[in-house]
Amino acid sequence: MEPEVQRVRNAFLSGRSRPLRFRLQQLEALRRMVLEREKDILAAIASDLCKSEFNAYSQEVVTILGEIDLVLEKLPEWVTAEPAKKNLLTMLDEAYVQPEPLGVVLIIGAWNYPLVLTIQPLIGAIAAGNAVILKPSELSENTAKILAKLLPQYLDKDLYVVVNGGVEETTELLKQRFDYILYTGSTAVGKIVMTAAAKHLTPVTLELGGKSPCYIDKDCDLDVACRRITWGKYLNCGQTCIAPDYVLCEPSLQNQIVQKIKETVKEFYGENVKESPDYERIINLRHFKRILSLLKGQKIAFGGETDEATRYIAPTVLTDVDPETKVMQEEIFGPILPIVPVKNADEAIKFINEREKPLAIYVFSNNNKLIKRMIDSTSSGGVTVNDVIMHFMLSSLPFGGVGSSGMGAYHGKYSFDTFSHQRPCLLKTLKREGANKLRYPPNSQSKVDWTKFFLLKRFSKGKFGLLLLAFLGIVAAVLVKAGYY
């Protein structure tokens, strides 16, 4: 792996990834790849996750195209240096913040949305002017292969490289020095990635997961709430990092929620869910068996049917779930929805805060005061109120975790910022040396007093404030020139 990483680093050091025009050309080429090879990409995703072309397009391709279009429009603005505020001592100098690329970035993708969770961060890395080594998940084998085949046909072969393989290859990659690592996956592997990165002091963004709670208040439209929860929970067969992991509600709501979700499942997927083209399968047998183990000893309100040969697990709801059981100790990442009864919102808040910070929190209520209290009294990567998952779709919102659900964020401008170093620049002349007497030895009380004035004094932004600032600058210059220190 070392020669491969060095080859990419040499390409970055050549400087060709930095010009704005080059970045735009690469992003346009990436967009062309998605459009021209759409059928191949959709077929690969379908093979990995038993996903219909309609679902693959709406869940992955649309997001990628939207992100590229946004970056193509906004990138000229994002790369522009931003002027910095100055004080009296620097009022005649030039000060600005210039975004610059970090260098060689490693992106480790995930299998559950193998296109969007690999290519979306790549878009941000290219936009910021970096070179990239892309490591798709080996579990979504067909998508990994098609990316390795297509990307070199459209992008610069030396700057953007796909490395395929399993644990061994990823382990070797992590031994190399990168300038940034973005990883999407489990908390357990996230710790391994962070440990490896620490050896080189490499900064990381970790997009992990966790158990995202969904609180349903008695003051809400249950029909609408259950439709949206059903969609978000069983989307991609529950294999979504921000899927509602479990429901918290008052005991009196439990049976109603079960019935309404059951009716919605029938509406979405028909009488025979197994035959629905809109219902996916578990990625592999290991995950299938892991999810089945979570059902042991649980009260199944509906669902629970399985077929190992096709890795099918029916949409399932569990009721009266004991918080100490296995299903409540790990992220489910499958089509099982536990309902945990709580007395009220205060108990729900306490329940959430006693556990690791989740990637998302969902609240369904018409009570604005309760909604605000739920948001203010908890912590999570993101929040969506009266819906689920949709905050992921808004590029103007950062997407990322907090605590054990991750660190850092990306999407839209936040991706550009994640893969950029905000470089402070102060440009002075070799003239006006007299003003520097304030900071040169020997020191004195008079110098300290003037320094405090120049550095700590604040003025209003009105005309009077600006005039006073200009006047004081002139006075200071005269005093310095006269040597009154």
Report the distance separating Cα 205 and Cα 409, nearest Å: 7
Q: Is 362 helix (H, G, I), strand (E, B) or coil?
A: strand
Measure the N-to-C terminal CA separation of the chain; round to a whole number of Å: 61
Burial class (CB in 10 A: 0-12, 13-18, 19+), 89: middle
What's the CA angle centered on 148, arms 142 and 154, to 5 degrees?
A: 125
Question: What is the distance, to the nearest Å, from the Cα of residue 397 to the centroid of all Cα atoms in its chain?
Answer: 9
What residues have CB less than 8 Å from 321, skipping those under 6 apart? 246, 298, 299, 327, 328, 338, 339, 340
C-alpha dihedral, 293 to 166 to 418 to 380, nearest 10°: 10
Catalytic residue among 241, 249, 280, 331: 241
Ramachandran bin of 90, using left for φ above 0, alpha for ψ from -120 to 50, beta for the remaining angles = alpha
Report the distance separating Cα 475 and Cα 453, nearest Å: 13
* 28 is a catalytic site residue: no
Bond prior to 121 in cis (omega within 30° of 0): no
| Best CA proximity match to 311, nearest among 338, 333, 280, 337 | 280
| Best CA proximity match to 190, nearest among 174, 169, 176, 213 | 174
Report the distance separating Cα 292 and Cα 357, nearest Å: 25
**Quick one: which H or E segment has residue 106?**
strand 104-108
Across the strands, what pairs with 425?
96
Catalytic residue among 60, 141, 207, 331: 207
Polymer length of the chain: 485
* 207 is a catalytic site residue: yes
Is-contact 176 4, C-beta < 8 A? Answer: no
Q: Is 463 helix (H, G, I), strand (E, B) or coil?
A: helix
What residues have CB less than 8 Å from 107, skipping those under 6 apart? 118, 121, 122, 125, 132, 133, 134, 135, 181, 182
Q: Which residues are catalytic?
A: 207, 241
